[in-house]
Amino acid sequence: MADKRYDLPILGTNPDRTYRLGIMGGTFDPIHNGHLVAAEQAYADLDLDIVVFMTAGRPAFKQHKKVTSGEDRYAMTLLATSDNPHFYPSRFEIDRAGITYTSDTLRLLRDYYPDNVEIYFITGADAIADIVTWNHSEDLAKLATFVGATRPGYNLDRASRAIDDSGIDFNVIYLEIPALAISSSYLRSRVAKGQSLRYLTPDSVTGYIHKHQLYGAKAGKYAD
């Protein structure tokens, strides 16, 4: 069930139990099977009630980079997650004006949900290594537990050192996700070369990319 004011699932209605809300934060340009496997593993391993796919509106660290429109990235996320009842694609950040800061998102979520809802912010381990440089990083640590999705063999030294050196008491959990060998940049380069995306992202996402000619996809040239 969703709330009509905000594009968020309803959670926390039973005061006698604790709820665990996963927020899967990413640019999703485009979403791929690595993201979907990571969210599913976080759902199972951390005993989450639901995972909200939070497509970043105007990503804070990408203001000088070319990023596909929020509407296209959200539409692909919607298509990719529609068959999973415990995934919830949200427009919450897409609909917010200005640059997307995670501190704003988490503060709004913390105000919105009752105290019996715990928030887990899931994202790539590379992004986690930078959280100490994000806006209002001291506040972030109080608002959520952070979950860093890593690929096998990923070296956690940079993230651990940055967090230790910051002196901020972040609660971080790392999850190793073999499927994260896939990346959005790999998908974009394959599309530009006319190569297939089969088994890398749901077919509905591939169809959307070709229909809207994203990432240099040529009209009528559908590599399946």
Residue placing its CB nearer to ligand NAP in the complex, 62 or 212:
62
Chain-centroid distance of CA 125 in Å reads: 12
Residue placing its CB nearer to ligand NAP in the complex, 35 or 210:
35
For residue 72, the minimal CB distance to ligand NAP (Å) is 15
Strand-pair partners of 149: 124, 175
Name 211's Cβ contacts closer than 8 Å, sequence gap at least 6. none
For residue 102, the minimal CB distance to ligand NAP (Å) is 4
**Which residue matches tokens 């230790």?**
164
Residue placing its CB nearer to ligand NAP in the complex, 15 or 26:
26
Residue placing its CB nearer to ligand NAP in the complex, 35 or 91:
35
For residue 208, the minimal CB distance to ligand NAP (Å) is 17
Between CA 41 and CA 8 the distance in angstroms is 21
| Nearest residue to ligand NAP, scored by beta-carbon proximity | 124
Longest CA–CA span in the chain (Å) reads 56
For residue 104, the minimal CB distance to ligand NAP (Å) is 8
Q: Which two tokens stand for residue 42?
A: 């976080």
Residue placing its CB nearer to ligand NAP in the complex, 15 or 50:
50
For residue 118, the minimal CB distance to ligand NAP (Å) is 18
For residue 140, the minimal CB distance to ligand NAP (Å) is 8
Contact residues: ligand NAP, CB under 6 A: 24-27, 35, 38, 56, 59-62, 100-103, 122-124, 126-127, 134-135, 149, 183-185
- Residue in 2, 9, 3 with CA at minimum distance from that of residue 23: 9
Dihedral over alpha carbons 170, 58, 127, 124 (to 10 degrees): 110
DSSP state of 108: H
Residue placing its CB nearer to ligand NAP in the complex, 27 or 206:
27
User: DSSP 3-state assignment of 64?
Assistant: coil
